[in-house]
Structures are given as structure tokens and as C-alpha cells.
Amino acid sequence: MIIEKGYQRYGSCTSATTVKVKGVVSTEFLPEDAFDPELEETWHYRRVWDTEDVVVPPHVRASASAL
């Protein structure tokens, strides 16, 4: 028996995008006004960023066989 709850409804996907990121970026020498003014402490954003820091893995639903 399947019971549908309001929070279990899904919408259809209209598009999907995949981006391949290579390289690194450094924010160590950016001027203070380059950061969001709402950030109180910018020191932990001043570093070298790798692809693992920038890319968020896609959200994949678990299949019924994985349960």
C-alpha cells in the first residue's frame, strides 16, 4: 500500500546541467570589498580553492533495490 503525503510530491524536471570544473582558484589576495559585506570574518575565505571545494555532487535518490 502506498500512501502519498504532501511532502512526498515531486515535480517534473525541466532541465539538467552538468559542468566539468578543472584547476584551482586563489582568493588570498582579493581586496576586502570583493567579499560580501555581510561576511564578518573573511580570513577563512582567503585561500586556494580546489575543485572539491567548489563542486557540489548531484543529489541522487536511492533506488528500491538499494534499500
Flag whether the pTM goes above 0.85.
no
Residues 6 or more apart whose CB falls under 8 angstroms from that of 30 comprise: 46
pLDDT at 16: 77
| Whole-angstrom distance, CA of residue 6 vs CA of residue 4 | 7
What letter represents residue 44's amino acid? H
Query: What's the length of the chain?
Result: 67
pLDDT digits (tens, 9 = 90+) for 4-49: 666 666 778 778 777 787 889 999 999 999 999 998 899 988 999 9
